[in-house]
Amino acid sequence: MAAQREAFFLGAGAERRFCLVTRPEGTPRGALLHVPAFGEELNRSRRMVALATQRLAQEGWLVMQIDLHGCGDSEGDFGDTSWSEWLRDIDRAHQWLLSQTQSPIALWSLRTGSLLASQWLSLSSSPKLPLLAWQPVLSGKQYLTQFLRIKLGADLADSNQARGLLSKIRETLQAGERVMVGGYLLQPALVEGMEASNFAFSPGHPATLAILEVAAGERVELTPATDTWTEKARAQGMLCEARAISGPKFWQSAEIEVAPALVPASLIALEAILT
């Protein structure tokens, strides 16, 4: 199937969000709302997400991508955004999709986008949607600590006050002040929301979850943390499938890399979660 791309702004003024919709030829078999990664992980994954989007559309899926508040071509500054604002952006994008198609809708998240997606699913009054999660971050607090350590890597490596540097950053944020880390101006409202978030779902969540992870090297298997999380989710009655595929960790690489096997695995997962 041929795919058509449409770029537009959702909303107006300060609420303007840049969106890119890739449509299949004919009636979509389903619609996907992509919830993106954070910071440099978002930038490094653009090529992979674009390749997947094109293939998904060729296979009959309508895919909506949105630049969240303060990101990409959307209105606002990154240093002024908040976690709750990003949750509202997901809701607005979902409402737009509802107005555009009668096809079943699912979320497709990457890395910290999975934290946003799972929290939105838990809070939303809309019918619970299936979720395809690429390499989901399981703990916002743990991710933020790693982000701070990586971005301050040089200082931490050369200083005996590593713990003190991290504590000072957190104290500054808790005092209501913004902090510049690795070129990103972090606002307390964003940090607090991320730290409080976990990849978790409300009890009895009825929709199916498919997790796909990329494993570099000879052993293609889920990370221990994801494997444990999946087993617990199943024990609690959640419909959850998880699989590892071989490929590079494209969201981490300074060079543009892709994991081609992730796309056919995603198509198989989507067929399963929407049946």
Q: What is the pLDDT of residues 3-62, one digit of tens each?
A: 799 999 999 888 999 999 999 999 999 999 999 999 999 999 999 999 999 999 999 999
Pairing of strands 131-134, 105-110: parallel
In angstroms, the CA 106 to CA 162 distance is 42
Provide the pLDDT confidence category of residue 181 given band limits of 50, 70 and 90: confident
In angstroms, the CA 49 to CA 27 distance is 22
Q: What is the pLDDT of residue 156?
A: 56
The residue-averaged pLDDT of 86-97 equals 96
Q: What is the pLDDT of residue 111?
A: 98
In angstroms, the CA 250 to CA 47 distance is 9
Q: In what order do the strands lie in the sheet with 105-110?
A: 3-10, 17-24, 61-66, 30-35, 105-110, 131-134, 209-215, 240-246
Whole-prediction pTM value? 0.93
The residue-averaged pLDDT of 167-188 equals 87
Q: What is the pLDDT of residue 162?
A: 59
pLDDT at residue 158 is higher than 80 = no
Provide the pLDDT confidence category of residue 152 given band limits of 50, 70 and 90: low
110-119, 121-130, 191-200, range with the lowest pLDDT: 121-130
DSSP per-residue string spanning 104-122 = -EEEEEETTHHHHHHHHHH
User: pLDDT by residue (tens digit) across 218-258?
Assistant: 889 999 999 999 999 998 889 999 999 999 999 998 899 99
The residue-averaged pLDDT of 80-87 equals 96
Q: What is the pLDDT of residue 154?
A: 52
The residue-averaged pLDDT of 176-202 equals 91
Q: What is the pLDDT of residue 151?
A: 62
Alpha-carbon distances, residue 255 vs 134, 153, 245, 263 (angstroms): 19, 19, 20, 20
pLDDT at residue 153 is higher than 80 = no
According to DSSP, the residues that pair with 10 across neighbouring strands are 17
| Residue 183 structure tokens | 């070129």
- 119 CB-near residues (< 8 Å, 6+ apart): 87, 197
Backbone φ, ψ for residue 113 (5° rounding): -60, -25
pLDDT at residue 100 is higher than 80 = yes
Q: Please name which of 224, 205, 203, 222 lies closest in space to residue 213, comparing C-alpha atoms.
A: 222
Integer-rounded Cα Rg, in Å, for the chain is 19
- Segment of 170-184, 198-212, 257-271 carrying the highest mean pLDDT: 257-271
pLDDT at residue 2 is higher than 80 = no
Helix (H, G, I), strand (E, B) or coil at 163: helix
In angstroms, the CA 90 to CA 92 distance is 5
